[in-house]
Amino acid sequence: MKSGHSGKKSIIINLGLLILALVAFHPELMAKAVGKQPNILFILADDAGYHDFGFHGSQTMHTPNLDQLAKQGILFSNAYVSAAVCGPSRAGILTGKYQQKFGYEENNVPGYMSASGITGDDMGLPLEQKILPQYLKELGYTTALIGKWHQGNADRFHPTKRGFDYFYGFRGGARSYFPFGENNPNYRPEDYLEEGFGNFEESPRYLTDALVDKTIAFIQQNQLNKTQTAKPFFAFLSLTAVHAPMEAEEADLAQYPNLQGTRKTLAAMTLSMDRAIGRLLNKLDQLNLADNTLVVFTNDNGGPTDQNASNNAPLSGTKANHLEGGIRVPFIMRWPNKLPKQQVYSQPVITLDLLPTFYQAAGGHSQQLADIDGVNLLPYLTNNRKTKLSERPHQALYWKKENRAAIRDGDWKLLRYPDRPAELYNLVEDQSEKVNLAQHYPEKVVDLYKKLFAWELTLERPLWQLKRQYEGDAMQRMDKFRTHIAD
């Protein structure tokens, strides 16, 4: 009898060890064992102003759907991007690491480059870099990118060659919100709408609506196939709103009779974006997917006030510089029954954190991710016993564009310039960066210079560099928009 029980016990133990081994090599099995893998919907706006949302206090912009999303989840008050312009910011999101570590400088591709280095369509997110959809596919996800790509125009950089199962959008960085005509004078192949690889056809719909339509269609199709594939989805809705060109539909413009010029157009474009996002979120409800879908909304960089009349109050600066208005962005995360709602999280985070956070939520083990700078945020948001709410996911965050650079270490921020003295701010006391404390705390300036330099030693030589005249333009732009007044 004892030998029989012993044999059964041995079989059970061996079976248990086999299951643990399978889970170790296939972390998605663990997610399925302890709970259903969530769908992931990532919505990225483009060039929006920090203040230009109801949840950030705007009285001009109407964003009821995003305001509701903020109430249903967590609003991050100190969320940053890794670059102050679109392309490199997105490269950081996709790789989970500072893009300068693989030579992707804080300049868009293609752009106004110097003669040295890579130029034109040879510029793009290096192929040896593993990116977000590739990680999630390993965990059993169906992946889609709908909208703006901006990581290289050449075929070899195409989203469908980088881990996205489905693509609908355009390869460039901006385009008209209205369909291109046959004789469009601004014709560029990379700006035409493309479905899959090489299938170009313009939509008759306003661009924001066309992108959301395709996102909804992808989700619905995934649900139809789910009985066969049993795959959760990762949908990356990469909007162009509210990036230039400033184009809005007449019905939306009519909603703002008291506004004029570019600010009026921006308000109409923002209204359109919010309404379209509302349709998408409602579809999750209709399909009974909302409770098992992790939703993130954020923006790719600060608002370019001189281009689209965006308002970054109470922050100083704009897109393309390292003042808070160029790098701090609106950020909302909702995951019903997993994360708290109606919460504000005030510790600094960065969009590099999205990759490990999504990976962990999907059933992976973020601590096993190699060579990334992002941090899994879930322990900091769920009252994990091992993680105190007062703890910071990051002690220090960094930015660099050409010779300009910045570091936030704790609550202190240093900005370094090639042609003027450094600036030092305490962001808890002065988030608008009005009082330069560099002369009052010279030892802190030296300390942060050293830390910034030590980080720069970990970076690769840039694959491309901006023409010097455009760096000068960026500095003038920064000085012009030091202060924003809330509406």
Q: Mind listing the pLDDT tens digit for each residue in 284-307? A: 999 999 999 999 999 999 999 999
Q: Mind listing the pLDDT tens digit for each residue in 446-456? A: 999 999 999 99
Report the Cα 74 to chain-centroid distance in Å.
Answer: 16
pTM for the model stands at 0.91
* Class at the top of the CATH hierarchy for domain 38-347+349-393: alpha beta
Report the Cα 24 to chain-centroid distance in Å.
Answer: 30
Q: What is the CA radius of gyration of the chain?
A: 23
- How far is CA 190 from each of CA 50, 94, 110, 198, 433, rounded to the nearest angstrom? 29, 20, 11, 10, 39
Q: What share of the chain in percent tops pLDDT 70?
A: 86
Query: pLDDT band at 182, cuts 50/70/90?
Result: low
The whole-chain average pLDDT of the chain stands at: 89
Quote the CA–CA distance of 326 and 303 in Å, as a whole number.
Answer: 7
Quote the CA–CA distance of 310 and 371 in Å, as a whole number.
Answer: 36
DSSP string, 127-138: TTS--HHHHHHH
Q: Mind listing the pLDDT tens digit for each residue in 133-169? A: 999 999 999 999 999 999 999 999 999 999 999 999 9
Q: How many CB atoms within 10 Å of residue 13?
A: 10
**Is residue 25 over pLDDT 60?**
no
